[in-house]
Each structure stands twice: as C-alpha cells, then as structure tokens.
Amino acid sequence: MFGTTGEGPSITPKNRLLMLRSALEYRRDHPAFRLLIGTGTPSFEESVELTRNAFDLGVDGVVVLPPYYFRKVSDEGLFHWFSQLIQRAVPAGGALLGYHIPPVTGIGLSFDLLRRLKDAFPDRFTGIKDSSADLEHAITVGNHFGNDLVILNGTDRLFSQALQAGASGCITALGNLYSPALRRVWDAHRRGEGDDQAQARLNAARTLSERYAPAPPLLKMLLACWYNFPLWPVCPPLTAMPPDIAEKARVEFDPLRND
C-alpha cells in the first residue's frame, strides 16, 4: 500500500493509518495475505512514526523510500538514516525493504549501501523493491543479492529477466490490472520455463501505459471501466484524465485486457 499507484507521498500519515486499518480487517479473514506499506518520507521523524505505527498495527513489512529531497546525500548519510529508522521503528521479526526508484527520487540505493545495511541488520533489512527500470541493474542486483535479499522487481517488462537473475517476485503498477499475466510468468519460472505470451502482454501494456503517464489516473480509470470499481479521485498535483483522453486510452488498452 502507498506506492506509486497508491499515491503514498500525497496521503497524510493519519489517513495512511486509517486505510491500513481497513486493509488489516481483510487480512483477518485471509491470514495468509501479506501486507506491505510504504512509510518512507523526506522527514525522518515522520518516517519513524509511520513505520512504528504500521508494525504496531500488524503489517508484515514496510517498503521505504530514501529521503528524496536532498539528492546529493552520501551513502554514509543514507546508511545513518536507514540505521536509525530500523533501530527505532522496526521490531524483531519485522521486515524493511528499501525502495530503489532513482528516476523518481533522484537517489539510488547503491550495492555498497545495501550490503552494509544487510550486514548490520541481517534479520530486519530484508529486501529491495527495484524500480530502476534498468535491465543491467536488475540483473546485477539479482546476481549480487538474490540469495540474501528479497528482490521485488518494479518494472513489468523486465519481470522474466529479473526472475532469471534471482528476483523473488514483483510489485508493479500494472499488477493492479495484469496480475494474471504476472502470475503466469511467475508460475512458468517456478517450473523452469518461460511464458513468452504473458510477458509480451506485459511488455505491450507497459509501453502503452508510459504514453499516458503519470500512472495513477490511468490505472484508476481502467479499474473503473473493466471491473466496475468507483472512479477514484487522485490527489493534487495529479489530475483526472480528460474524458476524451480516457476514452482513447480505454480503446487502446481493451485488446490487452486479461483473458
């Protein structure tokens, strides 16, 4: 919850926790359901409070953006920031995953930083969401850390290759619409095979979605059209898709709809 599609940086801490409580109601009836929540903000104290409260409520783990306002910060500064966050807010048995999305944050989580955090907190710094959209990085991070960290790929068109390199799964924006195709790729990988047809559908959908960026208005419009969900609003500075653009996007996406 509260990644890109969930518009995490636009949601107040109070409302994040209100929505988290609602999601946890669902999990009471589905105890195997795993719930991660985004708690990273530019404010260290706010991130600590959000993270601590999330674990107190019963989440399985948090996915944490680096403090993305100061883009020239050093690895030493980031190590100190994450270290203090883990020590103050992540309990024993809790899982923190770093959120690597430098095209958005302007800050990357280097391999040296990941290794330092894993060595310092082997049971609490458990993984990374890799939304770099960089194939070389996806392969390298998998080869370096595939046995040590949970690596969740964030770019649909790289999913098959990331799995081959050691990724553990994915969290993608298009997972809201194309979870069956993502599951087919995952199941094929577990069998030691590939599913080129499912991956091709993901590739086409991802390429098309990038023509209608930013993603949240597009995804919420398609969820309403395809599955009769409410047409959820977006938070400023995002705006709803104009009706003519929304209809054009729907017509283009309909042939790529899941079977």
Tens-place pLDDT, residues 96-116: 999 999 999 999 999 999 999
Give yes or no for a contact between 222 and 173, defined as CB atoms under 8 angstroms apart: no
- Above 90 in pLDDT, residue 146? no
DSSP assignment letter at 257: S
Task: Kindly list the strands in the beta sheet with 125-130, ordered across the sheet, starting from the edge strand earlier in the chain.
Answer: 36-38, 61-64, 95-100, 125-130, 150-153, 169-170
Q: What mean pLDDT is predicted for residues 232-249?
A: 96
DSSP assignment letter at 99: E
Say how many C-beta atoms besides its own lie within 10 A of residue 88's C-beta. 14
CA distances from 144 to 128, 136, 164 (A): 12, 12, 13
Give pLDDT, residue 31.
86
The residues pairing with 95 across neighbouring beta strands, listed in sequence order, are: 61
Tens-place pLDDT, residues 167-186: 999 999 899 999 999 999 99
The letter for the amino acid at 30 is: H
pLDDT confidence band for 259 (50 / 70 / 90): low
Q: What mean pLDDT is predicted for residues 116-127?
A: 97
| Tokens found for residue 252 | 């283009």
Q: What mean pLDDT is predicted for residues 92-96?
A: 97
Average pLDDT of the chain, as a whole number: 95
Residue 91 burial (CB < 10 Å; 0-12/13-18/19+)?
exposed
Q: How many helices (H) and strands (E) does the chain have?
A: 11, 6
Give yes or no for a contact between 60 and 34, defined as CB atoms under 8 angstroms apart: yes
Query: Which residues, 6 or more positions from 79, have their beta carbon under 8 angstroms from its beta carbon?
Result: 113, 116, 117
CATH number belonging to domain 8-172:
3.20.20.70
Q: At what angle do helices 175-190 and 215-227 cross, to 10 degrees?
A: 90
Q: What mean pLDDT is predicted for residues 146-171?
A: 95
Domain extent listing, the chain: 8-172, 195-259
